[in-house]
């Protein structure tokens, strides 16, 4: 899957970018679609890690 880069030194899969708006510029917003993709991806990875940690903790408490 080909990636597309941005001026902010990030990259994202081109076909995923087609679903995102080009800019959400403004205070606290993403500078471009590539940055928006990366922020969302990182949020999803962090949420997955929190869930896995919680499940491991719950499983060990059940022993």
Give the domain ranges of the chain: 3-61
8 A C-beta contact, residue 31 and residue 39: no
Tens place of pLDDT per residue across the chain (63 aa): 799 999 999 999 999 888 766 666 666 666 688 888 888 999 999 999 999 999 999 988 865
8 A C-beta contact, residue 23 and residue 31: yes
pTM: predicted TM-score of the whole model, two decimal places: 0.67
For residue 29, CA distances in Å to 2, 8, 44, 61 come to 25, 14, 18, 40
């Amino acid at each position: 899957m080909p990636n597309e880069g941005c001026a902010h030194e990030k990259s994202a899969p081109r076909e995923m970018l087609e679903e995102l708006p080009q800019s959400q510029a403004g205070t606290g917003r993403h500078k471009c679609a590539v940055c928006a993709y990366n922020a969302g991806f990182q949020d999803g990875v962090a949420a997955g890690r929190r869930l896995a940690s919680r499940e491991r903790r719950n499983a060990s408490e059940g022993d």
